[in-house]
Chain A
């Protein structure tokens, strides 16, 4: 058994580039539950998702949803560390700290130039609808939780750009948001006010212009991971995706705007946000099981839908831990903190996350040099990132250095 494990650990190959390939791979490893019988969107899909969230490490693929012939739905694909490891081309039983170390080392590795594929040749644009838009017919929707105010897409990645710096490629941002389908061609977007899309929208509204956006559903798995990372405004997420894949990430151009979207996304919904328009959005069940408030939020008007042949919608179940968001946020926070801390403090050598939460732990070279003592970890909540957190690191390293100096003076 140990030999098998050793062989598996040495079999580290490239990350899975595509959602479909990951589905096949995860299924071959027995980590995906495929539901082939016909199920109704409510309450069957909803109940099965809730039941799957009780069983850790269970992802669901629905082949036949009543009313949505030929459309498939996958839920909670990355809701386990094992599936995240498989996504990166690593063995499923890889310990979580090692998985995060690999991710951090890849993020710090070589940078690649992005590759652009012609829109006609991109898999995302195999089918294009620009006439009458009907999201209710196109997407296999279901009410994620009973008290939600509508049908939510909790894993939607939105591409937008800063209109004040339109000529700069790195001002295009790629982030994950929750969307509520509010009409045949309307999507309510849940913004916090501090995210990149809010910033881009405020710039567009000052100029009284529509903000072009592209909603990508079923993106490559590592792209979904990076979309949940706040990597800073000066960098683009596409570069980090390329670094994690260790090869150039393929993009394609939208047909209605100049935005770049992943060439292998299952769905691309092109549209715009009308300036100054706010509509009621919510409530939806949040990660902790509580309900969000109904707020007036911007609304995306969809003008074109592109999708692959026999598309697969990638959604996630939220409302009851452990969810896919926990895994994504755990890895994403570690990547963000690793980069943030490493830029500020070169002494940091190791980062890791606690498997049962999004608490983060950092080890420091400064303490490792402290007369051979073990590295002492520090725990922080995800929300404590930022300048305050870095100042704590600096104090800790300073204290370690003082202790080291005292030890040296005694000897």
Chain B
């Protein structure tokens, strides 16, 4: 009778498994309707995931979670047209950016997801009313 494999996974294996699990979930809407496409040259260098629910897509080599979890970043915006040097604005993406990015969507207020909020930003519910069943 074969013995179950009770050996703990190594750290790289755990990381790989974690990353593999994450590829199946859309980091933006947390939907599992994710399709995968491999690199065209068959090298396995990367693959592209696409969420058919909210149409978000990301490549396996980029840290898709950071797309919404980036703590701080820099945005450049011309204060007025033809004004020369661009004004530099800073933002905190995980806290402030969703409200600025998606003002017309239902975004849960800050803190309302306490205890059950995933570390992927505050996009829960933003795409609940999307009917993309034809895709």
Contacts and interface: CB of A to CB of B under 8 A. Distances in A.
Contacts of A182: 50, 55, 57, 135
A321 B86 contact: yes
A358 to B, nearest CB: 7
B135 A143 contact: no
Contact of A42 (B62, B100, B104, B134): B62
B75 A43 contact: no
State the main secondary structure of chain A at its contact with B: loop
Nearest to B28: A149
Contacts of A359: 81-82
Nearest to A41: B59
A134 B54 CA distance: 19
Interface in A175-221: 180-184, 186, 188
Nearest to A138: B40
A319 B74 CA distance: 12
A185 B87 CA distance: 39
A136 B49 CA distance: 10
Interface residues of B, number: 46
Give the interface residue-count category, chain A. 35 or more
Interface stretch (A3-11, A280-288, A393-401): A280-288
B62 A143 contact: yes
Contacts of B8: none
A43 to B, nearest CB: 7
Contacts of B48: 136, 141, 151
Nearest to B54: A280
Given A151-B57, A182-B55, A137 B82 contact: no
Contacts, number: 127
Given A67-B41, A294-B105, A357 B81 contact: yes
B78 interface: yes
A147 B63 CA distance: 12
Interface of B: 28, 35, 37, 39-41, 43, 45-46, 48, 50, 52, 54-59, 61-62, 66-67, 70, 73, 75-78, 81-82, 84, 86, 93, 97, 100-105, 126-127, 130, 132, 134-135
A150 B57 contact: yes
A320 B46 contact: no
A279 B50 CA distance: 13
22 contacts: A40-B45, A40-B61, A41-B59, A42-B59, A43-B62, A67-B45, A71-B40, A136-B48, A141-B48, A182-B57, A183-B35, A183-B135, A280-B54, A280-B130, A283-B101, A290-B75, A291-B100, A299-B135, A319-B76, A320-B76, A356-B82, A381-B81
A208 to B, nearest CB: 15
A146 B41 contact: no
A12 B48 CA distance: 46
A290 B40 contact: no
B135 A279 contact: yes
B61 to A, nearest CB: 6
Contacts of A95: none
What are the 3 A-B residue pairs with the smallest beta carbon separation, nearest first? A357-B82, A67-B39, A137-B40
B29 to A, nearest CB: 9
Interface in A338-369: 354, 356-359
Contacts of B134: 274, 277
A149 B86 contact: no
